[in-house]
């Protein structure tokens, strides 16, 4: 699915950028061009970035001590 039609950035491309270290919309804008022109995709791009960051985050569990 395309996230940014103006710059032809797909969700797959954006997720790969996040896995390679991109951690904000401004970094994504510089690395792959998402939300560089009209900005309509900015909110969706932020959600994809957050989802990918959460997916990569280590899962911790609290233990009773």
- The number of C-alpha atoms within 13 Å of 40 and in the hemisphere containing its C-beta is 8
Report the C-alpha gap between 23 and 17 in whole angstroms: 9
Q: How many residues does this entry show for the chain?
A: 65
Report the C-alpha gap between 3 and 1 in whole angstroms: 6
The pair of three-digit structure tokens given for residue 38, joined into one six-digit string: 């009209």
pLDDT at 45 over 70: yes
The pair of three-digit structure tokens given for residue 52, joined into one six-digit string: 């990918």
Reported as a pLDDT band with limits 50, 70 and 90, residue 64 is: low
Cα dist. 23→27, 39, 41 in Å?
7, 18, 16
**Extents of the domains making up the chain:** 2-56
- Domain covering 2-56: architecture: Orthogonal Bundle (1.10)
pTM of structure: 0.85
């Amino acid at each position: 699915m395309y996230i940014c039609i103006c710059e032809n950035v797909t969700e797959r491309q954006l997720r790969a950028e996040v896995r390679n270290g991109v951690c904000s919309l401004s970094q994504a804008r510089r690395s792959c061009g998402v939300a560089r022109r009209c900005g309509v995709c900015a909110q969706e791009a932020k959600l994809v970035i957050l989802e990918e960051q959460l997916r990569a985050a280590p899962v911790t569990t609290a233990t009773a001590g």
